[in-house]
Amino acid sequence: MSKQFLQIHPEDNVLAALTDISKGSEIIHNNDRFQLTVNVKAKHKFTTANLNVGDSIIMYGSLVGKATKTIAKGETITTENVVHASSEYAVGQEKLSWTAPDVSKWKDITFNGYHRADGSVGTANHWLVIPLVFCENRNVDVMKSALLKSLGYHTTTDFVVDTEVLVNQYKNGASDDELLSSDIIKTPEDIKQNRTFPNVDGIKFLNHDGGCGGIRQDSETLCNLLAGYITHPNTAGATILSLGCQNAQYKLLEAAIAKLDPNFNKPLHILEQQKSSSERQFIEEAVKKTFVGLIEANKTERKPAPLTKLVLGLECGGSDGFSGISANPSLGYASDLLVALGATTVLSEFPELNGVEQELINRCETEENATKFAKLMRAYSDKAVSVGSGFENNPSPGNIKDGLITDAMKSAGAAKKGGTSPVTDVLDYTEPVRKKGLNLLCTPGNDVESTTGLAGSGCNVICFTTGLGTPTGNPIAPVIKLSSNNTLSNRMKDIIDFNTGTVITGEDTIETKGEELLEYIIKVASGEVIPAAVRLGQEDFIPWKRGISL
């Protein structure tokens, strides 16, 4: 550890502890010497000046809080002496200039993906089985049990005990010695090599609790989201189970698909249970049509594609006090590299952009986008306040314990995932990505609702930063999990794919980690590396009903 603390921005009046620092330790900063008045844990922040009640707390160069008590120089800021505060914002401010990073070393690099008729390229090739209403979830589960193991997709554990080998040998008259010497342990790689459809990466089942009840807009939003998954470049085709009487009628889904892709030509099988003669016949038909669809999906193979076809989702969850210093800015630099290469990146979680609105408004290429972003943020904030829960209630107990004590502080660090490039488009929930460059997508801060929305808008890879650890994944978009610190990377090796903790300890810079991350993203997009969330079957899917979710 080369440094004990860090000033993130020249205007900050707090320092971030990079390691535990004892009370009484001398701090030398900007030709000033003072002592810590308390023990400061790693990831937490301490002041560089005496603060009075009402004084501003500045971090990342942004207002992140106000002092509620007198805070001595060298004292830790906590929820007991600081309250959330954020700056006002307005459209029409001076635009920020941007100097793109040098990307010449990647100009001829490609990834191997699945090319679709609409010109998009998938990083995976999945078949979807989707209930239009929660009443069909049980039938979807029956299909899941019928298809996954028999077709070679039951690989979410480190190994599988294949007793069918013993059964077949026994039926063929094998001796006890032959049975005892049989190899019945299959690894995920063994199973994958024996898949019936080797070019189909998975059959994904999108169970949910919507489609009926609630308000009509919930079903319309659900159909828009499902259409995004069906037209997604990582999707080869889909089987849809409809009950028949629900709000989310299949005509709504078909209209949503046509809106996204007027020339849609993927295999799509829609079955309605209330028109079938029996549940048995209904499921039998669904399984048969899915099998026929898989035959067609298996005809598509990976082929080289330019990096411009990458659409990277930028996500965080289980954040800590290091997330905004290591993982998020490293991901932000990778985002800048991709934007400079002509690709697309998408920053979501609007409750976690509170306090940095002005910076993002200033980065919008058009006044129309700036106005749309401001309108969406204000509407979201006002709705939260109307039910007694503003953005200030966003930080979780884990966030606070690990140094993120206000929403504005959390947001200032979270926004670093978006790098520094201009904002080319602003999207409401379920709106598809249409423009290259950095997009802003309105989703909740809820990890799963947000990743669900990112994939629904077209992200074919998602990078997910975390400081505390989380098993969140997505059914169709591979999710790369980034650790903000070495301790987490070592403790949760089974779910962490990429460690940026070496930025904290000084072995790496944000730039070197960002470049390394881009190389890793390309390997994942090509199917050369399988992220932990995919390997472990972490396929979370929660549609947002547009209610208040922070």
Question: For every one of its 550 residues, what pLDDT tens digit does the chain have, with 9 covering 90 and above?
Answer: 468 999 999 999 999 999 999 999 999 999 899 999 999 999 999 999 999 999 999 999 999 999 999 999 999 999 999 999 988 999 987 677 899 999 999 999 999 999 999 999 999 999 999 999 999 999 999 999 999 989 988 766 666 788 888 999 989 999 988 889 988 887 766 666 678 999 999 999 999 999 998 888 999 999 999 999 999 999 999 999 999 999 999 999 999 999 999 999 999 999 999 999 999 999 999 999 999 999 999 999 999 999 999 999 999 999 999 999 999 999 999 999 999 999 999 999 999 999 999 999 999 999 999 999 999 999 999 888 888 777 777 778 888 887 888 888 999 999 999 999 999 999 999 999 999 999 999 999 999 999 999 999 999 999 999 999 999 999 999 999 999 999 999 999 999 999 999 999 999 999 999 999 999 999 999 999 999 999 999 999 999 987 666 5
pLDDT at 407: 87
| Cα(210)–Cα(87) distance, integer angstroms | 37
Give the residue from 309, 343, 302, 301 showing the smallest Cα distance to 120.
Answer: 309
- The sign of the CA dihedral 517, 522, 525, 527 is negative
Backbone angles phi, psi at 276, to 5 degrees: -90, 160
**Which residues sit opposite 464 in a β-bridge?**
315, 481
pLDDT at 190: 67
Residue 113 is given by DSSP the state E
Whole-prediction pTM: 0.93
- Please determine, looking at this structure, whether the domain spanning 5-84 carries the CATH number 2.30.130.110: yes
Q: Pairing relation of β-strands 14-17 and 45-47?
A: antiparallel
What angle (nearest 5°) sits at the alpha carbon of residue 166, between those of residues 161 and 167? Answer: 115
Query: Is 437 in contact with 429 (CB distance < 8 Å)?
Result: no
Query: What Cα–Cα distance (Å) separates residue 286 from each residue in 209, 243, 291, 359, 503?
Result: 21, 13, 9, 50, 51
Element (H, E) at 454: helix 447-456
Query: What Cα–Cα distance (Å) separates residue 442 from each residue in 232, 307, 463, 483?
Result: 19, 25, 17, 24
Buried b (16+ CB within 10 A) or exposed e, 87-124: eebebeeeeeeeeebebeebeeebbbbbbbeeebbbbb
Domain locations in the chain as residue ranges: 5-84, 132-153+195-299, 306-536
pLDDT at 186: 73
Query: Is 547 in contact with 432 (CB distance < 8 Å)?
Result: no
pLDDT at 92: 84
Give the residue from 87, 44, 85, 43 showing the smallest Cα distance to 68.
Answer: 85
| Cα(474)–Cα(153) distance, integer angstroms | 16
- Residue 411's CB: how many other CB atoms inside 10 A? 29
pLDDT at 218: 92
For 403, residues 6+ apart whose C-beta sits below 8 A from its C-beta are: 16, 41, 43, 44, 45, 320, 321, 322
| Cα(446)–Cα(462) distance, integer angstroms | 15
Query: Is 550 in contact with 384 (CB distance < 8 Å)?
Result: yes
Give the residue from 470, 430, 467, 451 showing the smallest Cα distance to 347.
Answer: 451
- What is the three-class DSSP state of 399? helix
Count how many residues are written for the chain.
Answer: 550
**Which residues sit opposite 56 in a β-bridge?**
66
- What is the three-class DSSP state of 88? coil
Query: Is 238 in contact with 128 (CB distance < 8 Å)?
Result: yes
Residue type, 52: N
Residue type, 73: K
| Cα(14)–Cα(105) distance, integer angstroms | 38
Q: Pairing relation of β-strands 437-441 and 32-35?
A: unpaired
Query: What Cα–Cα distance (Å) separates residue 491 from each residue in 487, 488, 513, 520?
Result: 6, 5, 20, 21
Burial zone of 156 (CB within 10 Å; 0-12 exposed, 13-18 middle, 19+ buried): middle
- Residue 280's CB: how many other CB atoms inside 10 A? 10
Residue type, 279: E
Query: Is 347 in contact with 439 (CB distance < 8 Å)?
Result: yes
Query: Is 441 in contact with 347 (CB distance < 8 Å)?
Result: yes
- Torsion angle, alpha carbons of 293, 298, 302, 307, to 10: 10
